[in-house]
Amino acid sequence: MALAGLTSEFQIYYEKLGTGAPLVFLHPSGMSHLVFKYQKELSQYCQTIFPDVRGHGRSSVKDPETFTIWDLADDVASLLDHLLIDEAFICGYSAGGSIAQAFVEKYPHRTKGLILSGGFSQVSTFALKKQFQTGIRLAKNTPALLNQFLVSTHSNSQKDRKEMLEYHKQSDPKTWERFYKESFAFNCTDQLKEWSFPMLFLYGDRTEYMHPYRRIYTKNVHPRAKFVILNKALHQLPIKHYKSFNAEIQRFITGST
């Protein structure tokens, strides 16, 4: 665990475990690297890297009301530079997938592969629009309530909940709000056909509101991309269904290196 000094005034906190092919995990707004607590076991098979997005957890706040999703992708590239890594697998969960897709679009030469859990290339359905609008409103007006809600839906034990609640209090609510807005506006659907690197898409079978996005990817990405629907699973795959989630990622990384 360390701070990457990207500039003299801006630092990204990250944890790095294991050796081998680098795999970067990107969390959604209002959360932190702790949402990937159960992915640390993947360090047996590859080099796992867990950053806090700017303004989240222990990472510095920078331009909280003006940054773009592309700036967050640049943060990932700068972190890889700091770690002397030329290319990596990029895994984005939920809105963290917006950063992941911005990264692979801007830095395809640094992309070994893309993994999206509950991913979307644009926010276009009524259900997801409402989720984002609620998140933006809570981040602006009642961030403590938003923190409690996110933690309650992303924890397996009282210990998890306590750790995440306390850790997220270090975060900047204005950054949460901006991240929500940027992910809400992000759209890379027209670029999907251009991507030639390995891709893995993971969804829970009980999150039907996300399945329209799976169909968008199926229609647009290359036929070698892999799609996995986890049985009896909701949206929170990395923490609620981590055993099957990790197994699929292990197979993907092993088969792509």
- pLDDT reading at 185 higher than 70: yes
Confidence of residue 221 (pLDDT cuts 50, 70, 90): very high
**DSSP readout, 187-212?**
B-GGGGGG--S-EEEEEETT-GGGHH
At 22-33, the pLDDT tens digits run: 999 999 999 999
What's the pLDDT at 240?
A: 95
Provide the domain count of the chain.
Answer: 1
The whole-model pTM stands at 0.96
Confidence of residue 10 (pLDDT cuts 50, 70, 90): confident
What's the pLDDT at 81?
A: 94
- pLDDT reading at 179 higher than 70: yes
- pLDDT reading at 6 higher than 70: no
Confidence of residue 3 (pLDDT cuts 50, 70, 90): low
Q: Whole-angstrom Cα distance, residue 246 to residue 20?
A: 16
What's the pLDDT at 257?
A: 72
In whole angstroms, what separates CA 10 from the centre of its chain?
21
DSSP 9: S
Burial group, residue 213, by CB count within 10 angstroms (0-12, 13-18, 19+): buried
- pLDDT reading at 232 higher than 70: yes
At 129-170, the pLDDT tens digits run: 999 999 999 999 999 999 999 999 999 999 999 999 999 999
> CA torsion angle for 230, 232, 236, 242 (degrees, to 10)?
-60
At 26-80, the pLDDT tens digits run: 999 999 999 999 999 999 999 999 999 999 999 999 999 999 999 999 999 999 9
DSSP 90: E
Residue 71 structure tokens: 């700036």
CATH label of the domain that carries residue 248: 3.40.50.1820
Contact assessment for residue 248 and residue 200, using Cβ atoms and an 8 Å cutoff: yes
Range of the domain at 232: 2-256
**DSSP readout, 38-86?**
GGGGGGGTSEEEEEPPTTSTTSPP-STTT--HHHHHHHHHHHHHHTT-S
What's the pLDDT at 256?
A: 84
What's the pLDDT at 1?
A: 54
State residue 113 phi and psi, 5-degree precision. Answer: 175, 160
- pLDDT reading at 7 higher than 60: no
